[in-house]
Amino acid sequence: MGFSALLCACVVALCGAAPFTQSDEPDYDRPIIGILTQEVDDYMKKFGETYIPSSYVKYIESGGARVVPIRLNQSFAEHEKIFRSINGLLLIGGSVNLETSDFAHTAGIYFRLALKANEEGEYFPIWGTCLGFQLLTVLVAGENLLSKTTAENVTYPLNFTSGT
């Protein structure tokens, strides 16, 4: 009886001696994804020139990656340094010009750097969501292939009919 009580006390003491500690070492095995910031409308500039919706950050982090915001107003050398420090790029959706905006210009820098890296055997993925995907089509084609439509903010009913 005394031996089992002593054994139990030792187990309890050992369990409490090293409670679930976290390592002080940084977490280097998670990919780092750059998210290109989006320009804001003039009436929002009092809060900042650019932004990233938190949903994009949460989306990337939920996949286990870390996020680096990429500002639009940096030099080419700064963008090259960031490119060498990240593992991929997310071009977010928004409402800017696909050819003349700072967003398009900066995305073009990263697109050309990614092409060069991929030609050298490195893997650098770029994901575009909504406007970001449209921008990728412009960058790949070298021109804007999208056609203008007047269907923005227009809702029409969908009436199903029977038959073939």
Residue 34's H or E segment, with its range, is strand 32-36
**Residue 130 among the catalytic residues:** yes
pTM score, whole prediction: 0.74
Q: Write the pLDDT tens digit of every residue in 21-50.
A: 555 666 678 999 999 999 988 888 899 999
Q: Write the pLDDT tens digit of every residue in 133-164.
A: 999 999 999 888 877 777 777 788 988 888 76
Catalytic residue chosen out of the listed positions 8, 10, 15, 130:
130
- d(CA 66, CA 58) in angstroms, rounded, equals 10
- d(CA 105, CA 73) in angstroms, rounded, equals 10
Whose CA is closest to 50, among 81, 75, 73, 78? 73
Quote the tokens at residue 8.
């139990």
CA quadruple 134, 57, 38, 87: dihedral, nearest 10: -70
User: Regarding beta strands 32-36 and 38-39, do their DSSP bridges make them parallel or antiparallel, or are they unpaired?
Assistant: unpaired
Q: Parse the chain into domains and list their residue ranges.
A: 52-141
